[in-house]
Structure 1
């Protein structure tokens, strides 16, 4: 269990670091940044559920809320401190959808593996 928690902490640190990076990552194709947001928050969602051993819907909702606020915090800090970065509601939505997809994936995986 400590490994999942360590990976979760590392994923939060990487997401925070890349989110507040001075320059945005280069776009490999249109909307590549949205894919990155989705993937980052999908990873955070899966790791949070595994690290915290979530067994109830209430805890899943709490994780989703935590990840929503984390995504909003990154966008807000970009608006405050990084004039070369553009905060975006679409980025926030992509992150939240990634977290939601992660939660649904883990729930379905647990149901199907019984």
Structure 2
């Protein structure tokens, strides 16, 4: 499991040693070890404790808050973004005109080929 999806409304996410404990109305639903998670997607009305947030920060886990239907509300990230190398590569391509043009051409070419 890389992404933990919290969809069922009214759930609570708490820290349980080095795991996240998911419960609803005081009933434990599951416990997931922190090493199995890269992202947490929280849909709608959920609760997450500050201890669970700190566990996520400590383990560089991003938390996204979404509406019930999946619309983006906000994001909490730890100190270090996992996408820093991706961003650097994107900026590198963006700064080189000939690479940027060739990359754009390949996107357009592939789009035309695959639209049939």
TM over 0.5: no
Q: Which has the higher contact order (CA 8 A, sep 6+)?
A: 1
Q: Which has the greater radius of gyration?
A: 2
Of Structure 1 and Structure 2, the greater strand share is in 2
* TM-score, normalisation: structure 2: 0.29
* TM-score, normalisation: structure 1: 0.29
Of Structure 1 and Structure 2, the greater helix share is in 1
